[in-house]
Structure 1
Amino acid sequence: MQRAGTVARVLREPGLPAALCFHLLFGLLLAIRTLSSFTPPVETSVEVELVAPEALTPPAPPAPAQAPAPPPAAEIAAPPQPAPILAPPEKPVIPPPPSPAEPPAMITARTLHSESVLANPRSRGAREALKTLEASERIEQLCNLEAMSQIHAWKEQFEPDRVVAFAMAGTKLTKSTLEAEGAAFRSRKQWYVLRFRCEMAANGKVAGFQFQVGEAIPRSEWAAHDLPPEH
């Protein structure tokens, strides 16, 4: 080995230890000189100022100046429009007046009774009285007699004992026909409305008869129509 050889060499040569010590001493002195000539740098203090983060933001550039807005254009007035022509108001439609209601159909007698009633012996007084009357009155009495007989034959609950042909309205008499639109008859002391049409034959007898029975006449109206409660 090299180190073992070196040591052996030093032991064999006595001048070598002295030379080594000289070299070591010279190196030490040289190192001390070098350290003494070295001057450390002077430290300089630096002042540091803390700045807020907001201050680090660069200022915003100024907004560009806006050009002045042009003045509003003058409004152009629309030409006046002519007034609309209004259509004339429509005339209200007036419905035609209702036609007068036709009276219900009258009952036509199938069998005539006035002649057989007068032929009865108990009607002798009536036969004699008819001979003394004028023609118009005789026709009216014969028609009244036929009316009472026809009403009782139509409904037995009625027992007419008197008929007034002109009670509610006047009669229409021609040479052969008597029309009574406002007649009345009494049954069991109660007056009722009656309409009839009586046709006469040339021999003075009833040839045809039609009638219609109406409502009961209120008692408060009897006096106004000359309707006696009895006889």
Structure 2
Amino acid sequence: MLAAIFWLSVPKPLPVPPSGAIIVDLIPEAEAPARPTAAAKMLSAPSLEVEPLAAPVENPEPREAPSAPEQGDGMTAATQFYAASILDDPVNSEVRENFPLLANEEQVIQLCNIEALEQLRETEPGEAPDALVGYAFDSIDVAGLDLVADGGAFRSHGTWRHIRYRCAVASDIRSVAAFEYVLGELVPESEWEAHFLNGTDE
């Protein structure tokens, strides 16, 4: 099961709490602290705070891909998608109802990062991702319904690892239509602080 947190103050990773709760806290980009150019785009949105919501108890029902995207650069293309099932669960109704209040670009970012964490949990044996920073080493690029994150990082078992992913959101901006990713090397601990990567959520 996935949970994602979009924080209210300084840039922080999107963690998955032990309880499996989905917590969505969204902030205006203007309030974010200055970042280096390579990590300039953070996950942000108009001011909106949503109380913690419980994630589904069962694994979210996967959605079949309409067609698998072409693989490139060694990327693994997903054939099942999970973000929509998580948001469709009745316990997450408040998050779902507030999504239309966000700009389309922010909705794309939210859906794709939820999908990224859940794909890692479902398809990578031995990994237990509990946080994701899509902009850790490069900006997130969004063009229409397509997202490219070439400088992401995720935390698993207390360490950080590079990840690149590409995501296409369906025209209704309520589900993911295509997703592919490739894992990179571990991020040296000496680089964590400079890229806002924390070993724990404390």
Q: TM-score, normalised by structure 1?
A: 0.51
1:209 to 161, 166, 179: 179
Please state how far the C-alpha of 1:157 moved relative to its aligned partner.
1.9
* Structure 2 stretches lacking a partner, 5+ long: 1-71
Q: Does 1:159 align with 2:123?
A: no
Residue matched to 2:13 = none
* Structure 1 stretches lacking a partner, 5+ long: 1-102
Which structure's residues are more often strand, by fraction?
A: 2
Q: Which amino acid aligns with 1:222?
A: W
Please state how far the C-alpha of 1:212 moved relative to its aligned partner.
0.8
2:191 to 221, 224, 228: 221
The 5-angstrom pairing of residues 47-196 of structure 1 reads 104-124=73-93, 126-128=95-97, 130-196=99-165
* Distance change (3 Å), C-alpha of 1:134 and 1:230: farther
Please state how far the C-alpha of 1:228 moved relative to its aligned partner.
2.3
The residue matched to 1:203 in structure 2 has which SS?
coil
The residue matched to 2:80 in structure 1 has which SS?
coil
* Structure with larger Rg: 1
Please state how far the C-alpha of 1:230 moved relative to its aligned partner.
2.6
Residue matched to 2:56 = none
Q: Is the 8 A contact 1:171 1:181 kept in 2?
A: yes
Q: Which amino acid aligns with 2:123?
A: W
CA RMSD of aligned residues (A): 1.9
User: 1:92-149 CA distances to partner (integer Å, 9 max, x unpaired)?
Assistant: xxxxxxxxxxx84100001111111222345445435534432212211110110111
User: 1:150-197 CA distances to partner (integer Å, 9 max, x unpaired)?
Assistant: 111112321222221111111221012000111111122221100000
Residue matched to 1:43 = none
Paired residue total: 129
1-structure distance, mates of 2:180, 2:92: 23
2-structure distance, mates of 1:190, 1:133: 32
The 5-angstrom pairing of residues 15-34 of structure 1 reads none
Q: Is the 8 A contact 1:167 1:225 kept in 2?
A: yes
1-structure distance, mates of 2:185, 2:91: 32
Q: Which amino acid aligns with 1:137?
A: E
Q: Is the 8 A contact 1:140 1:165 kept in 2?
A: no
2-structure distance, mates of 1:129, 1:168: 29
The residue matched to 1:136 in structure 2 has which SS?
helix
Which structure's residues are more often helix, by fraction?
A: 1
1-structure distance, mates of 2:190, 2:107: 31
